A and B are shown apart, each in its own frame.
Chain A
Amino acid sequence: NAGVTQTPKFQVLKTGQSMTLQCAQDMNHEYMSWYRQDPGMGLRLIHYSVGAGITDQGEVPNGYNVSRSTTEDFPLRLLSAAPSQTSVYFCASRRTGTYGYTFGSGTRLTVV
């Protein structure tokens, strides 16, 4: 089925480790975004991209990097994991214009 595929679904990291959360979509959506969801805080935008080769920072970008070399893929890199990055991460994509996001199933990350 078409959609947004996120991997892994669960991950435990030690403080200081780095890792990449993968996100791929097969709907040819221009917009892709990464969010983190923490209890009581809704979803906060980390980074987003309006097309291949174009990325920008969201509300909470510190400690994260992204790149968009293709329309399909938008990986999120944690440079040096910290306990404050324990969260559920969602990748989402949408077409430009009046369309809602399609979300991936999420990655539950724990940093110990």
Chain B
Amino acid sequence: AQKITQTQPGMFVQEKEAVTLDCTYDTSDQSYGLFWYKQPSSGEMIFLIYQGSYDEQNATEGRYSLNFQKARKSANLVISASQLGDSAMYFCAMSSLFGTGTSLTVIP
């Protein structure tokens, strides 16, 4: 069975600093995809970034990057130069399976 684990219920980061949100996964599939989504306080879900299991390079999308370590089964999200608007819940997902989320607060 597949599993997604986010062990950080809440994180704080100073504005303009970088922050890493942890995500580990478990699957017996050889081919799989890992996703990160953002949920602001307004409630909508926003797709941020995707990493395929066969991708050799770590995915990047603007200030978001995915630190993919296949052997360790981890897919951590790195947000660089944090902004106040980054305060939100962040969910890691593998295909249709979601983790429990990490609440990020950016401190001015």
Between A and B, how many residue pairs show CB distances below 8 Å? 45
Are A101 and B45 in contact, CB atoms less than 8 angstroms apart?
yes
Q: Is A42 an interface residue (CB 8 A)?
A: yes
Say what secondary structure dominates the interface of chain B: strand
Are B50 and A100 in contact, CB atoms less than 8 angstroms apart?
yes
Q: Is B68 an interface residue (CB 8 A)?
A: no
User: Given contacts A41-B100, A42-B91, is CB(A98)–CB(B33) below 8 Å?
Assistant: yes
* Residues on B with beta carbons closer than 8 Å to the beta carbon of A40: 100
Distance of A106 Cα from B93 Cα, bound (Å): 18
* Residues on B with beta carbons closer than 8 Å to the beta carbon of A99: 50
Distance of A63 Cα from B14 Cα, bound (Å): 44
**What is the total number of residues of chain B having a CB less than 8 Å from a CB of chain A?**
19
| Binary contact track B62-79/A, C-beta < 8 Å → 1, others 0 | 000000000000000000
Distance of A48 Cα from B98 Cα, bound (Å): 14
**What is the total number of residues of chain A having a CB less than 8 Å from a CB of chain B?**
21
**Across the two chains, which residue of chain B brings its CB closest to A43?**
B98
* Residues on A with beta carbons closer than 8 Å to the beta carbon of B101: 42
Q: How far in angstroms is the closest Cβ of chain B from A68?
A: 16
Are B96 and A42 in contact, CB atoms less than 8 angstroms apart?
no
Report which A residues bind B (CB closer than 8 A).
33, 35, 40-45, 48, 58, 88, 90, 92, 98-103, 105-106
**Could you write out 10 A-B pairs with CB less than 8 Å apart?**
A43-B98, A48-B96, A58-B96, A98-B50, A100-B35, A101-B45, A102-B47, A103-B45, A105-B43, A105-B44
